A and B are shown apart, each in its own frame.
Chain A
Amino acid sequence: MPASMTLPDLASATANSGVRSSALANWQATGWPGPRVESWRFTKLALLEGKTFAPAHDFADQPAGAGMDAAESIGAHVLRFVNGVVDPSDIENAPEGVNISALAADEDAMSHLRQMVPPAHPVSDLSLAVMSAGIIIDIKGRVDMPLMLSFEGDGATTSAHPVVFVRLFEGSYLQLAEWHASTAGLSAPLTGIDIAAGARLEQVKVQTDGQATTHLAATGVTLGAGASIDGFSLSTGGRLARLETHVCFAGEGADCNLSAIYMGRGEQHQDITTYMDHAVPNCTSNQIIRGVLDDRSRGVYQGRVHVAPDAQKTDGQQMARALLLSRKAEVDAKPELEIYADDVVCAHGATVGELDATQLFYLTSRGIPKDVARAMLIEAFLIDTIETISNETLAAILRPVAQAWMAEQETL
């Protein structure tokens, strides 16, 4: 595939009469969500207002980032993005069962993607229009080699708009890792994940973007009959980060585990927003969210579970817990159930707490220094979430990131 096919630019969106030009028109009409938009009430994008970003359109090589090391440690095939532009050499030599093609050339695929991703989300429009890179990853059969999407880049006024559409064909299986370690001003990845009947995806996302980066990720997932996804995000990076995921249950018997850990310190703002659209009967969704917030950082969890009138026997669970390490840290948790069917099992909950002083005393009374004791208790708070990751290979790249965050704890 010629590299130029993966590098469409804004001009082509403007010239085009198709999906991207309509996305562009939408973006131009709405822009960043204002303070009165309900779903952005807890996460304000004021720091983006009036800022001009220049999207990158050419691949510029850089020294390899941490995502590349993580990929190597688990023997993954890597697709490397620098400022949202994919390394053309990585789209060659895809492993058996993986086929990569250009998204911009496929109007039907773009239109399908657009229906899946979060509607009325600025990135759903903006990144589709700009599309620093647009690729389709088709999966057939069981792919044993994990796939790593590594996102790097830099430049305070650079924005990255990678668009990735992963399509798992019937009965296929994939392990997908996503690693963000960019210091660009804006990371705005748009992702569609279409999991056909009986297919299964195991996925982790590590978000470690720079302390000045705004990371806005919009992801749409569709699950066919009997399909399943085990997804896990760990978000520690960015000045402001919002990971928004919409899941649509399109076929019966589908199963979705979508858990996340967010960690903030300094002035960071971490947002996890999810929407589970139980449109059909007999599906399960389970979300475990854990947040750790230090200093003046803020956390947001918005989780909405929608159960349509026909979606009987839905099992929808969401449990969010946050641990505040400082009196100035704050969290807004808003788990919501919208249930229109009568025969369902749904539960939600949200708790906020601090490190337990008695537990800390017990540990320190054994000679364990206070900072080590705190790290042990934070890890204990996160551990059962990390243990929900069924895939040990993927869990292995995630644990060190959480541990590194705790190791950076200032000694009190």
Chain B
Amino acid sequence: MTALLEIRDLHASVGDKPILKGISLTINPGEVHAIMGPNGSGKSTMSYVLAGRDGYEVTGGDILMNGVSMLEMEPDERARAGMFLAFQYPVELPGVGGMSFLRAAVNARHIEAGEDEVDQLGFVKLVRGKARDLGIDDAMLKRAVNVGFSGGEKKRYEILQMALLEPTMAVLDETDSGLDVDALRIVSEGVNLLRDPGRSMLVITHYQRLLDHIVPDYVHILAGGKIRKSGSKELALEVEESGYAGIDDAA
């Protein structure tokens, strides 16, 4: 079986500063992997490198999706190939209407697949349906993208996009941060609904509590730009008790 995502000895720098120092990770279809790690360990950097952000330079190793290297692909090409990143800090787009943004994203896939563009009325219905499940009201859908959204609303809006775009590889960067208990439950339910044998997820979090809701198949501990430990979901509980102090990142 070809891995859905294979990260091979990945090294990456931001502005000449090495951040990722040799990460290897294999995610098979349908698996949910969690990455935990202290602040500044390189979790967001890894998510941006996967999504192909400018300025995040891969200096060694490779990233393969379905066996194909993504390194030469632009962010939009990666996205249309099935990659999705739920941002830790979703970006405000003043003047860009929410509905036209969502439609442009979905249409980009249709156009690439040689399909008709989405029908406007049908699309509005589809969005409203999925939004309701995530507790997103119509007023929020009509606003400019992420403008005036609370922290929790932004995170829910990320999951709405994921639900509409139906990626095969979803990277969720601290989707739990800034969420209260209820919002955490709603967002996690939204994510769990999208668990699918054909879809893999990489769930990045600083805290174990998210993993009570989105139960991972594997847990990896990232520190100092390297994966220090990998294990089953019990590893998350261990970290919760002893903290990251026990993880040796001097290596």
Binding site for B on A (CB under 8 A): 357-359, 361-370, 372-373, 376-377, 379-381, 383-384
Q: Are A376 and B74 in contact (CB under 8 A)?
A: no
Most buried by A among B54, B90, B95: B95
Q: Given that A359-B91, A370-B74 are contacting pairs, would A365 and B79 also be in contact in the complex, using a CB cutoff of 8 Å?
A: yes
Q: Given that A357-B54, A361-B75, A372-B104 are contacting pairs, would A366 and B161 also be in contact in the complex, using a CB cutoff of 8 Å?
A: yes
Q: Which residue in chain B gives the minimum CB-CB distance to A375?
A: B104
Q: B105 an interface residue at 8 Å Cβ cutoff?
A: yes
Q: Given that A364-B76, A366-B165, A369-B108 are contacting pairs, would A379 and B90 also be in contact in the complex, using a CB cutoff of 8 Å?
A: no
Q: Which residue in chain B gives the minimum CB-CB distance to A362?
A: B91
* Count of inter-chain pairs, beta carbons less than 8 A: 76
Contact residue among A362, A368, A381, A384 (Cβ-Cβ distance under 8 Å from B104)? A368
Chain B: minimal CB distance from A163 (Å): 39
Residues of B111-132 contacting chain A, CB below 8 A: 112
Q: B53 an interface residue at 8 Å Cβ cutoff?
A: yes
Chain B: minimal CB distance from A328 (Å): 20
Contacts A364-B76, A370-B76 known; 10 new A-B pairs at CB < 8 A: A359-B93, A363-B101, A366-B165, A367-B79, A367-B108, A367-B112, A376-B96, A376-B104, A377-B96, A384-B95
Q: Given that A361-B54, A361-B75, A362-B91 are contacting pairs, would A380 and B108 also be in contact in the complex, using a CB cutoff of 8 Å?
A: no
By Cβ-Cβ distance, the 7 closest A-B pairs, closest first, are: A380-B95, A367-B79, A362-B91, A366-B105, A364-B76, A364-B75, A367-B108
Q: Given that A364-B75, A365-B79 are contacting pairs, would A380 and B109 also be in contact in the complex, using a CB cutoff of 8 Å?
A: no
Q: Given that A359-B93, A380-B94 are contacting pairs, would A365 and B80 also be in contact in the complex, using a CB cutoff of 8 Å?
A: no
Q: Are B76 and A368 in contact (CB under 8 A)?
A: yes
Q: B5 an interface residue at 8 Å Cβ cutoff?
A: no
Q: B51 an interface residue at 8 Å Cβ cutoff?
A: yes
Q: Are B53 and A361 in contact (CB under 8 A)?
A: yes
CA distance A372 to B112 in the complex (A): 14
Contact residue among B78, B87, B144 (Cβ-Cβ distance under 8 Å from A362)? B87
Q: Are A380 and B76 in contact (CB under 8 A)?
A: no
CA distance A357 to B55 in the complex (A): 10
Q: Which residue in chain A gives the minimum CB-CB distance to B55?
A: A357
Q: B85 an interface residue at 8 Å Cβ cutoff?
A: yes
Contacts of B84 in A (CB 8 A): 365
Chain B: minimal CB distance from A128 (Å): 41
Binding site for A on B (CB under 8 A): 51-55, 74-76, 78-80, 84-85, 87, 90-91, 93-96, 100-101, 104-105, 108-109, 112, 144, 161, 165
Chain B: minimal CB distance from A321 (Å): 12
CA distance A359 to B87 in the complex (A): 12
Contacts of B108 in A (CB 8 A): 366-369, 372
Contact residue among B53, B55, B85, B105 (Cβ-Cβ distance under 8 Å from A368)? B105
Contact residue among A357, A370, A380 (Cβ-Cβ distance under 8 Å from B93)? A380
Q: Are A364 and B96 in contact (CB under 8 A)?
A: no
Contact residue among A358, A367, A383 (Cβ-Cβ distance under 8 Å from B91)? A358
Chain B: minimal CB distance from A94 (Å): 40
CA distance A357 to B54 in the complex (A): 8
Q: Which residue in chain B gives the minimum CB-CB distance to A357?
A: B54
Q: Are B74 and A364 in contact (CB under 8 A)?
A: yes
Contacts of A376 in B (CB 8 A): 93, 96, 100-101, 104
Instruction: Name 16 interchain pairs, CB-CB below 8 A, sorted by A.
Output: A358-B91, A365-B51, A365-B76, A365-B79, A365-B84, A365-B87, A366-B104, A366-B161, A367-B108, A372-B104, A373-B76, A379-B95, A380-B93, A380-B94, A380-B96, A384-B95
Contacts of A381 in B (CB 8 A): 95
Chain B: minimal CB distance from A356 (Å): 8
Most buried by B among A361, A380, A384: A361
Q: Which residue in chain A gives the minimum CB-CB distance to B76?
A: A364
CA distance A365 to B87 in the complex (A): 10
Q: Which residue in chain B gives the minimum CB-CB distance to A371?
A: B76
Contacts of A380 in B (CB 8 A): 93-96, 144
Contacts of B96 in A (CB 8 A): 363, 376-377, 379-380
Most buried by A among B51, B55, B91: B91
Chain A: minimal CB distance from B173 (Å): 11
Chain A: minimal CB distance from B71 (Å): 16
Q: Are A363 and B51 in contact (CB under 8 A)?
A: no
Q: Which residue in chain A gives the minimum CB-CB distance to B80?
A: A367
Chain A: minimal CB distance from B156 (Å): 16
Q: Are A383 and B93 in contact (CB under 8 A)?
A: no
CA distance A305 to B149 in the complex (A): 38
Chain A: minimal CB distance from B20 (Å): 18
Q: Which residue in chain A gives the minimum CB-CB distance to B83?
A: A365
Q: Are B101 and A364 in contact (CB under 8 A)?
A: no
Q: Which residue in chain B gives the minimum CB-CB distance to A376?
A: B96
CA distance A366 to B80 in the complex (A): 8
Q: Which residue in chain B gives the minimum CB-CB distance to A369?
A: B76
CA distance A362 to B52 in the complex (A): 11
